[in-house]
Amino acid sequence: MQKVRLEISGIAYSQTQSGSYVLTLSEAAGNRKLPIVIGGFEAQAIAVELEKMIPNRPLTHDLIKSFCVSFEVVIKEVLIYKFVEGVFYAKLICEKDGVLTEIDSRTSDAIAVGVRFNSPIYTFSNVLDDAGITRDQEDAFENDSLIGQDDTLELEVETSHSSSSMKELEKQLQEALENEDYELASKLRDEIKKRNL
């Protein structure tokens, strides 16, 4: 079966499933996308690494990376190998001393660990056929479950921080990191970046 390379193209709130997020993976050499509903903790764990934030204490996935590095285990790739009854199945392909081992994992956890190793993400073409969406379908998908709440959240962030000075924003960012509120820290960091342009 042919493997297809995927890239992370976004994480957004899910309007249809309260407290959940949609992780969108895009086909590297094509136009299909794979939307995967994940939990808030896993979304945060992926976003923290993608945004290169440094938490005060290691998150669970950081601990896994430290463990792997200490014992010279390399995460070679993340493989989303199956989609059955609305559930994705994934595994980490690991290497130690030239020996490959497959470790079963929830997809969100596999990706959260994989991004810490800059590991490629793959799936099989039949998984994309079953669960993927095309650009034509994406507009309807996003309008139904993503864009509405994202637009509202962006507006709230801009309104709540627009009157803050840069010094206040930097202080709030530091406090958010100390309190391990990485979602707020990400929004504050974006506001700081926008002002520095």
CATH number, domain containing residue 87: 3.10.690.10
pLDDT band at 144 (very low <50, low <70, confident <90, very high): very low
Could you tell me if 77 and 100 lie in one domain?
yes
Q: How many domains does the chain have?
A: 2
- Rounded percentage of the chain residues whose pLDDT exceeds 90: 43
Single out the residue in 142, 160, 184 at which a domain terminates. Answer: 142
d(CA 178, CA 162): 22
Could you tell me if 184 and 111 lie in one domain?
no
Could you tell me if 137 and 63 lie in one domain?
yes
Residue 88, beta-bridge partner list = 83
User: Which carries the bigger pLDDT value, residue 157 or residue 173?
Assistant: 173
Could you tell me if 131 and 158 lie in one domain?
no
pLDDT in tens, 59-105: 899 999 999 999 999 999 999 999 988 899 999 999 999 999 999 99
User: Which carries the bigger pLDDT value, residue 123 or residue 176?
Assistant: 123
Task: Check if the beta carbon of residue 122 is closer than 8 Å to that of residue 3.
Answer: yes
Could you tell me if 157 and 124 lie in one domain?
no
Could you tell me if 125 and 192 lie in one domain?
no
pLDDT at 117 over 70: yes
pLDDT in tens, 15-70: 777 778 889 999 998 889 999 988 888 998 999 899 888 888 888 999 999 999 99
Q: What is the pLDDT of residue 197?
A: 66
Q: Which domain holds residue 186?
A: 151-196
Single out the residue in 101, 125, 142 at which a domain terminates. Answer: 142
Burial (Cβ within 10 Å: 0-12, 13-18, ≥19) of residue 121: buried
Q: What is the pLDDT of residue 82?
A: 93
